[in-house]
Amino acid sequence: MSQAHHIHGDVTLHKGGAELIDRLEPLWLALHAHHQSIEPGFAYFPDERSWELRRSCYRRWILEEGSFILLAERHGQAVGYAFVEIHAGPDDTWVTGTRIAELQSLSVASTERGNGVGTLLLDEVDAELNRLDIGDLLIGTFAANADARRLYERRGLQPVLTYYARFSANGKQPRY
């Protein structure tokens, strides 16, 4: 069961697990729309299918010991969330601890962007990871999402991987 974790001004953060997943749908769909606006050249699933797939991932990821959801509300209205999955470590390349956190999603309602909700969520993610004694954090973002990259870099994260993709739904065939 989720419980109010922290109150910051008129934003309340709730930490929880699977019981919060269904409340994330509108915010996931806002993030899905944002992805399409910053990377328009790809084929995307319709909203309903996208949420169905993401919800399934969340249901699987939340089962990992220590994984958690932070839900931000302003006046009882959900305005953002962070979904953090905890993996077993160490990593096979970098020296890490025995557990590694991965921020699977950070979504802030479009009307709330730039109001500090994302920073508030990330501050609480860091505080919770500190409580769990986890120092290693991975965050992925779209290459075109310059705002997210700047936010993460301001927080001391560094880019370490670049993914390249070819999606058959976009009609691109390999050329060798």
What's residue 170's pLDDT? 78
Does the domain at 3-169 match CATH 3.40.630.30? Answer given as yes
Burial of 79 (0-12, 13-18, 19+ CB in 10 A): buried
Residue with tokens 């749908």: 25
Which one is predicted more confidently, 49 or 172? 49
Predicted confidence band of residue 152 (pLDDT cuts 50, 70, 90) = very high
Separation of alpha carbons 58 and 73, rounded Å: 20
Q: What is the mean pLDDT of the chain?
A: 92
Task: Calculate mean pLDDT across residues 47-52.
Answer: 97
What confidence tier does 95 reach under pLDDT thresholds 50, 70, 90? very high
Residue 1: what pLDDT? 44
pLDDT mean over 78-107: 96
Domain spans of the chain, in order of start = 3-169
pTM of structure = 0.91
Neighbour count for residue 134 (Cβ, 10 Å):
21
- Alpha-carbon gap, residue 101 to 119, rounded angstroms: 17
